[in-house]
Structure 1
């Protein structure tokens, strides 16, 4: 909440400016939890998804085909970095937001560690295949 009023900056992760996922990345880093960088990666890092009716402060909420993320600040509200030309702010969760809701996650260290292991496996080179000779 202390970041309210800071300008939206695409790719921003500092107090000079934040984008939506940069803001959630910074918030969770302050709590000692390392999140992936983008909204889509943040959503996919956790297998346990939270329903709209079960949202609690600290949950990450995703909208517009995983193109936007905010964090529940209190019941019925989220803090987020909306778009270019705007600033970090708290906003009430409206019917419009509910219509574009994709899902939510409740980040925890185990979930992030599991995501990091999966990403490491994906980046590892494929094992060498035996070559047949004639």
Structure 2
């Protein structure tokens, strides 16, 4: 549990906290805040708008190419939709990146990765 002590601010995080009264209280708080109907409605609006916008972008890309058949990497498409949803929910609250602007989105993704996953091993954080 040393990881929890150093990384999660002395067991203050929900995911790494040992089971007990504190964990139960945190779970109640998180479920009541995260899954309340107003919050879910807000999240539903974000998800729906992202799906609509990606469908519109796919339509635009298909019309741009005319009658030519082209392939689309669906993994990148779904990654892009998921990224936009997460960015809207967690950071900014509004849409930032279109499918055409993948370079900007890639830069933000890279910055987030560097911030969260700078080291490959948790021991590197603990032993510093």
Q: TM-score, normalised by structure 1?
A: 0.28
Bigger share in helix: 2
Pair member with larger Rg: 2
Bigger share in strand: 1
- More contact order relative to length (CA 8 Å, sep ≥ 6): 1
